[in-house]
Chain A
Amino acid sequence: MSDFFSSGWSVFIAVATVVSLLACLALLVFASRRTQMADDNSTGHVFDGDLVEMNNPMPMWWVVLFVATVIFALVYVYAFPALGSVSGSLGWTSRGELKADQAVAAKDMAQVYAAYSSVPADTLSQDPKAMAIGQRLFINNCATCHGSDARGSKGFPNLTDNDWLHGGSPEKIEETITLGRTGVMPPMAAAVGSATDVHDVANYVLSLSKSPHDSIAASAGKAKFAVCAACHGGDGKGNAAIGAPNLTDGVWLHGWGEAAITAIVNNGKTNVMPAQGGRLSPEQIHVLASYVWGLSQPRRTAAR
């Protein structure tokens, strides 16, 4: 194993460690004796006329402690990976310690989650303790995009409004968390027609949710909406099976108003929810999904 440019560094570290250890002992021995003036216990050094350097010996227990630390170091060097790439007699590695710690944590966690894994989401979302776990999972894993209060932001769906792109049942939410989602809106400018057509369609889309719009343009755009209806449905209510959003409910994931809609129609949008299945266990995802599902239910239980 060469951690640096060559394994020579490993040898260098090993030699430096051993030499330093032995040098400490050698220094102790060499410095332990010195010439002293016989009759007055001084070293014969006089400073500033009257400041005499006396021989004031270190206590023996101090020396014993010093030697003990060197012996401890030698034992440590033998048992642990202290000499460059030498692995030490105990075979200890930081990676192995992490694995062992993780195994212990996984065992402890399994006990906690065992009580929840077979409980359905609507029951679980009434359990304050489970919801506290769910909230912590959410804060640590989801809040980065969806916000601490789960109300999302532009491009990141609000999870509390009971408006679901891919279905809002607890099972669907679990699926979304485990496998992730990719929402694709292709650029439709060419299919819709001219810039005026896009303007008309955008106003028609706004009219679906009774948002402020130009009603003449909207009625002109109604026919052009046919190309959108393939995914969003004739009535614009969307299609959860392919993640096509409902355009009639006044929830605007990528911005509110005509300009935002025009931009999406012209340029399209690919929006990704990354898969969490590799990072969280199925039991954790079950609790987390119950928490997320519970956020949009009328009867909310405060997490404690």
Chain B
Amino acid sequence: MAVTRRVVPIAVAATETVSLYASEEKIQPRTVHGWFASWRWTLVWLTQLVFYGLPWLQWNGRPALLFDLGARRFYIFAMVLHPQDVIYLAGLLIISAFGLFLFTAVAGRLWCGFACPQTVYTEIFMWVERRFEGDRQARIKLDLAPWSPRKLVRRGGKQVVWLAIGLWTGFTFVAYFTPARALVAEVLAFSLGPWETFWLLFYGLATYGNAGYLREQVCKYMCPYARFQSAMFDRDTLIVSYDPQRGEPRGSRARRVDPASIGKGDCIDCTLCVQVCPTGIDIREGLQYECIGCAACIDVCNGVMDKMEYPRGLIRFATQNAMSQRWSTRVMWQRIARPRVLVYGAILLAISSTFVWSLATRSPFKADVVRDRGALARMVEDGRVENVYRLQLMNATEQPQRLRVEVEGLPGATVHAWSDVDLAATESRWVPVAVQIPPQEASTLRPGAHPFAFRIRRVDAGADGHAAELHEKSTFIVPR
């Protein structure tokens, strides 16, 4: 990119010793309105309605979303997940990761600028700040002003609302693990458990500290995604870009003057793009690691361009290639659909559809087979060969189920003295099962392990009308 660089003189004698630690300068971003700001607020509303609202939603007389850690059951609308379903969590994380890869390859740090909780809560906290202390100039003035009743009221009001939002966030977080209505009662009666108290305060104060004070510091110094997303950029990634060929040389001018006639570019050097930046950078210096892609500078610059009656887009989402080679928007978008993006997209689509398909066709019960630890095999009455297994039967629904276990894949094998197991709603139970082979059949099998399968099926068709069936593999050992 043809940015004018300052020439760094190498042989400079003047040196001084400085501290490598410095207090960060407080950033007071100016309010911004525009297309991207509206999108950010839309996402703030969407994500927060979901986050704050979900714990209150009821489903069949229980919270629609409840992670009951004590009972190790996770209720998600009609679903009941057991710890054995942790594969779905892995699936969700893989989908999120590939989603992040895809979006980052296409348009950089979209997540950071629009949907990340750090951005979302900072946006909310800054809105509160503006309500009490006014916009950028007023806040800078208030910072410098000596303490007065007026300053105390403004600062105090802001703190109270910040803390309230923080604690409400902490409460909501805990309400995903303890039913919200019960939690309200516990809070009112001061009878919160130790962990509930800890997480409510921890999450609440972390929200307060991160969104109220640390803000861009979290993105700059703490967040690992911020750094590895930069590694996923290439020259065909859409990033927030300043168009130096159009903007430079920058400088102020009267409104009706044609910039070409006075040898200037379109940038009027109003520094609004710097004032609105939540991380305090100057986008005109090119791509910087601090840029979270929030596009506040695009919004504000477009407003200035409108006022100056210049075309919009002096700062815009563009790829580095499009910017340096003056590509049209169409060519740029054609390059964005590059193999990397298509591969990410295909993987994301494949995993997501598998995930949904797997959830939709989920068995209403689960079973795990564990060979008995005590004995490999034994001879019982009449020379029958017997192996013992422990079956963990899990009801993945909220209706009782009756399960029957049979054996397949071994000649003459039967389940000894089986009586159907009645599982209560969401219950998980270990059941010992003895499998027997009559002596005649046993004598035809060579000593050693023989693969077979348990066929576990629901005896009475459930609420969904069809009888489900599971096959769990195991081995049967014939002794010497």
Contact = CB atoms under 8 A, between A and B. Distances in A.
Contacts of B16: 35-36, 38
A39 interface: yes
Interface in B1-21: 5-6, 8-10, 12, 14-21
Nearest to A132: B429
A124 B430 CA distance: 21
A71 to B, nearest CB: 17
A51 to B, nearest CB: 10
Contact of A149 (B8, B17, B434): B434
Contact of B374 (A32, A60, A143): A143
A35 B15 contact: yes
Interface stretch (B98-106, B147-155, B241-249, B381-389): B381-389
A298 interface: no
A47 to B, nearest CB: 12
B19 A149 contact: no
Contacts of A58: 20-22, 221
A148 B22 contact: no
Nearest to B429: A304
Interface in B366-419: 372-375, 378-381, 383, 386, 388, 390
Interface residues of A, number: 40
Interface residues of B, number: 37
B379 A62 contact: no
A37 interface: yes
Contact of A46 (B8, B18, B214): B8
A3 interface: no
A153 B381 CA distance: 12
A154 B378 contact: yes
A62 B375 CA distance: 59
Given A35-B15, A35-B16, A37-B14, A57 B21 contact: yes
Interface in B79-133: none
Given A35-B17, A148-B432, A256-B383, A57 B22 contact: yes
B24 A33 contact: no
**Chain A facing B: main interface SS:** mixed
A153 B378 contact: yes
Contacts of A146: 374
Nearest to B379: A256
Contact of A52 (B8, B21, B372): B8
Interface string B351-375: 0000000000000000000001111
Given A40-B8, A145-B374, A149-B434, A60 B24 contact: yes
Contacts of A256: 379, 383
B252 interface: no
A31 interface: yes
Nearest to B381: A250
A42 B8 contact: yes
B217 interface: yes
Nearest to A144: B374
Contacts of A40: 6, 8-9, 12
Contacts of A59: 21-24, 217, 221
22 contacts: A31-B20, A32-B19, A32-B21, A36-B16, A37-B12, A38-B12, A38-B14, A39-B12, A40-B8, A46-B10, A50-B5, A55-B20, A58-B221, A61-B24, A62-B21, A143-B373, A148-B373, A148-B390, A149-B433, A151-B386, A153-B374, A304-B429
